[in-house]
């Protein structure tokens, strides 16, 4: 379980996060949604420690991460996997070397064992026969899957995904979403995913946190999402006029039936 | 530490952050084997990768110095073998270390800054950080280690090539025979000057590498920033090398 308490983040004069408190549950894919610029990435980076919150606390299973020194943080970080928005694969290393990197750096496994583990996770993300390709030689979807493989190769307790399906076609996007979901449940991981992709919100929203201008504006799940009368949330979900009209049409139809 | 990446400030801020970076680049490695492997890669990039340009430049510098000096001597009473002596002295004391390091500041400096800048902007450094790697010591430590071993070696090669270039140009232009030139080269040989050359090359190597790594590691913004960071790396490394040259010459040759 990860808990954020009153997290604030100020850049210069701009207050990007205005005191956010939330609980992210274990074994669930916790979604952070909100429109572009609402502070999703900043919140995620504050949680993983790439940014230090101006105020507030981040607790990993009750332990205060913000207050830790660098060595203690590194301990936690070894139990943590992250999928970056752009993949962030090491471009001088092959797919296999990328996924093996954390094992090379932090374990004493013999090479053959590491290879087996790498092939196991690559198979898990449906990426076979790409072991010796470089990131520049594979597609965006394959890069995302390599990123997931690298994030889970150490069996993390916490998994963070920043926009896992940005830049992917709808089908690949669903594959990646399902993969994250399955891994989360299978290994009982605390997963936090940033997204503004409504398909994935509707498919995976066990627990949803809606950010608006640096505030937590709403919290719930995919069922309560559509019943909410929160104006900003409705504007976010039904972004286009077409969708709003479709919703109103359906609403009127329902009303007429009554 | 992550916090300071996006920050900016005056010269004092940069000096402070630079000093901290140097300090942290000596942190204990998580896995010595990985660092060693990375150091070998960097030694290859920095050392072998710069060999051809150093050979080329040093040869011409030696050759031109020899011909120029011989031309001046030809109108005086000074014996011609002095050409060998002067080319040797100037190669060892100034031209080999300083000119090589200015060239390397351009080549290695822009490489390192754009490599690290790209890693920063594509979040590869963040990815390392998240894994719990000490990014500064893993990314910068091996580069510094490779530089302070390979650059002195390149400088020695540069001095030898320059002296040899002088020999070739001097004898081909007919100013000074090979034997006379060599007599000059071997005349009043001072081991201390070699020591000065080595000190300079270690210091210059360290300065140009750390300054360039600093520019790349703390790059932030958009892709254009990578180009700007590598330009800054080159300019700043060259200025710092010249500055260090002046200080070291003062300190060592008094
Ligand atoms: N390092 C930084 N320095 C200054 N301002 C920043 C920094 N990082 C983010 N911001 C600001 O914080 C705000 C929120 O940015 P953030 O990247 O969190 O948005 P987001 O919700 O992830 O958007 P998107 O969906 O487009 O990824 C933006 O206004 C941005 O300008
Ligand atoms: Mg974002």
User: What span, in angstroms and rounded, lies between the C-alpha atoms of B50 and B70?
Assistant: 30
Q: Which of A71, A101, A69 is nearest to B128 (CA)?
A: A101
Name the residue among B2, B124, B131 with its Cβ closest to that of A102.
B131
Share of chain A above pLDDT 90, in %: 60
Segment B209-237 mean pLDDT: 94
Give residue-wise pLDDT tens across range A138-150: 998 899 899 999 9
Is the predicted pLDDT of residue B222 greater than 90, yes or no? no
Is the predicted pLDDT of residue A106 greater than 80, yes or no? yes
Is the predicted pLDDT of residue B2 greater than 60, yes or no? no
Q: Is B2 in CB contact (< 8 Å) with chain A?
A: yes
Q: Which ligand is nearest to the CA of A9?
A: 1
CATH architecture of A1-79+156-227: 3-Layer(aba) Sandwich (3.40)
Name the residue among B2, B34, B124 with its Cβ closest to that of A105.
B34
pLDDT of residue A240: 66
> Which long-range contacts does B18-22 make (Cβ < 8 Å, 24+ apart)?
B18/B210, B18/B211, B18/B214, B21/B136, B21/B140, B21/B210, B21/B213, B21/B214, B21/B217, B22/B210
pLDDT of residue B80: 87
Give the model's confidence band at A257: pLDDT under 50 very low, under 70 low, under 90 confident, else very high: low
Give the model's confidence band at A8: pLDDT under 50 very low, under 70 low, under 90 confident, else very high: very high
Chain B interface test: which of A88, A99, A150, A167 (most B C-beta within 10 Å)? A88
Rounded mean pLDDT of chain B?
A: 93
CA of residue A168 to ligand 2 center, whole Å? 15
CA distance B30 to chain A (A): 7
Give residue-wise pLDDT tens across range B82-101: 999 999 999 999 999 999 99
Least confident of A173-177, A245-249, B158-162: A245-249
Q: Return the residue whose CA atom lies nearest to atom 6 of ligand 1.
A: A11
Is the predicted pLDDT of residue B150 greater than 90, yes or no? yes
User: Sign of dihedral through CA atoms A65, A66, A72, A75?
Assistant: positive
Inter-chain CB proximity B30 and A106 less than 8 Å: yes
pLDDT of residue B4: 65
Is the predicted pLDDT of residue B74 greater than 90, yes or no? no
Residue of B nearest to A161 (CA): B127
- Strands lying side by side in the sheet with A158-162: A80-83, A158-162, A190-195, A29-33, A207-212, A215-220
pLDDT of residue B1: 46
CB atoms within 10 A of CB B52: 9
Give residue-wise pLDDT tens across range B204-215: 999 999 999 999
pLDDT of residue B165: 96
pLDDT of residue A173: 85
Rounded (5°) CA angle B41-B47-B50: 120
Q: Is A73 in CB contact (< 8 Å) with chain B?
A: yes
Collect all residues with Cβ–Cβ distance below 8 Å to A176 and sequence separation of at least 6.
Answer: A141, A144, A145, A148, A164, A165, A168
Q: Return the residue whose CA atom lies nearest to atom 3 of ligand 1.
A: A11
Give residue-wise pLDDT tens across range A124-138: 888 889 999 999 999
Index of the ligand 1 atom closest to the CA of residue A43:
18
pLDDT of residue A176: 85
User: What span, in angstroms and rounded, lies between the C-alpha atoms of B31 and A114?
Assistant: 16
Interface of B with A in 29-58 (CB under 8 A): 30-31, 34
Q: How far, CA to CA in Å, does A50 sit from each of A44, A84, A101, B102, B220?
A: 9, 12, 20, 36, 14
Chain B residues touching residue A11 (CB < 8 angstroms):
6
CA of residue A48 to ligand 2 center, whole Å? 14
Q: Is B133 in CB contact (< 8 Å) with chain A?
A: yes
pLDDT of residue B142: 96
pLDDT of residue B213: 97
Give residue-wise pLDDT tens across range B20-46: 999 999 988 888 999 999 999 999 999
Chain B residues touching residue A106 (CB < 8 angstroms):
30-31, 131-132
Inter-chain CB proximity B132 and A51 less than 8 Å: no
Segment B154-177 mean pLDDT: 94
Give the model's confidence band at A230: pLDDT under 50 very low, under 70 low, under 90 confident, else very high: confident
Is the predicted pLDDT of residue B111 greater than 90, yes or no? yes
Q: A89 φ, ψ to 5°? A: -75, 150
User: What span, in angstroms and rounded, lies between the C-alpha atoms of B121 and B142?
Assistant: 21
User: What span, in angstroms and rounded, lies between the C-alpha atoms of B107 and A254?
Assistant: 71
Q: Is A115 in CB contact (< 8 Å) with chain B?
A: no
Name the residue ranges covered by the structural domains of chain A. 1-79+156-227, 93-155, 230-258
pLDDT of residue A168: 80
Share of chain A above pLDDT 70, in %: 96
Collect all residues with Cβ–Cβ distance below 8 Å to B178 and sequence separation of at least 6.
Answer: B167, B170, B171
CA of residue A210 to ligand 2 center, whole Å? 14
Is the predicted pLDDT of residue B135 greater than 90, yes or no? yes
Q: Is B124 in CB contact (< 8 Å) with chain A?
A: yes
pTM of the model: 0.89
Q: Which ligand is nearest to the CA of A84?
A: 2
Residues with CB under 6 A from ligand 1: A 11, 16, 34, 36-42, 196; B 6
pLDDT of residue A48: 94
> Which residue bears the tokens 């296999």?
A96
């Amino acid at each position: 379980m990860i808990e954020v308490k009153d997290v604030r983040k100020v850049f210069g004069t701009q207050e990007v996060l205005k005191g956010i408190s939330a609980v992210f549950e274990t074994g669930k894919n916790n979604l952070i949604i909100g429109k572009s610029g609402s502070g999703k990435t900043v919140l995620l980076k504050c949680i993983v420690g790439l940014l230090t919150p101006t105020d507030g606390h981040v607790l990993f299973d009750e332990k205060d991460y913000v207050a830790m020194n660098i060595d203690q943080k590194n301990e936690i970080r070894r139990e943590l996997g992250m999928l970056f928005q752009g993949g962030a694969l090491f471009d001088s290393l092959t797919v296999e070397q990328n996924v093996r990197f954390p094992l090379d750096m932090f374990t004493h496994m013999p090479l053959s064992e590491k290879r087996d583990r790498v092939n196991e996770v690559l198979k898990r993300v449906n990426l076979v026969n790409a072991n010796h390709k470089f990131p520049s030689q594979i597609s965006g979807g394959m890069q995302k899957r390599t990123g997931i493989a690298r994030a889970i190769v150490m069996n993390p307790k916490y998994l963070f995904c920043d926009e896992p399906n940005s830049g992917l076609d709808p089908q690949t996007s669903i594959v990646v979403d399902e993969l994250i979901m399955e891994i989360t449940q299978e290994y009982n991981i605390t997963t936090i995913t940033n997204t503004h992709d409504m398909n994935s919100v509707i498919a995976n929203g066990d627990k949803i946190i809606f950010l608006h201008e640096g505030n937590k504006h709403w919290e719930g799940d995919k069922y309560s999402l559509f019943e909410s009368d929160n104006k900003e949330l409705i504007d976010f979900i039904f972004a286009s006029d077409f969708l709003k009209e479709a919703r109103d049409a359906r609403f009127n139809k329902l009303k007429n039936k009554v | 530490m992550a916090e300071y990446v996006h920050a900016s400030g005056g010269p004092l801020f940069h000096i402070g952050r630079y000093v901290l970076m140097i300090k942290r680049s000596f942190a204990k490695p998580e896995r010595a084997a990985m660092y060693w492997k990375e150091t070998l890669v960097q030694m290859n990039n920095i050392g072998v990768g710069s060999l051809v340009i150093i050979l080329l430049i040093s040869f011409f510098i030696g050759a031109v110095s020899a011909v120029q000096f011989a031309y001046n001597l030809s109108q005086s009473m000074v014996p011609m073998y002095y050409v060998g002596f002067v080319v040797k002295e100037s190669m060892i004391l100034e031209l080999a270390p300083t000119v090589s390091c200015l060239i390397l500041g351009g080549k290695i400096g822009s490489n390192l800054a754009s490599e690290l800048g790209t890693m920063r902007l594509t979040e590869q450094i963040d990815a390392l950080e998240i894994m719990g790697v000490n990014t500064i010591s893993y990314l910068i430590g091996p580069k510094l280690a490779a530089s302070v071993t390979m650059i002195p070696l390149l400088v020695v090669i540069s001095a030898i090539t320059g002296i040899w270039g002088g020999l070739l140009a001097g004898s081909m232009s007919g100013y000074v025979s090979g034997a006379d030139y060599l007599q000059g080269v071997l005349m009043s040989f001072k081991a201390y000057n070699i020591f000065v050359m080595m000190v300079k090359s270690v210091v210059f190597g360290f300065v140009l590498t750390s300054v360039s790594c600093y520019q790349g590691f703390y790059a932030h913004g958009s892709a254009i920033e990578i180009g700007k960071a590598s330009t800054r790396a080159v300019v700043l490394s060259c200025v710092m090398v010249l500055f260090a040259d002046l200080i070291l010459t003062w300190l060592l040759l008094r």
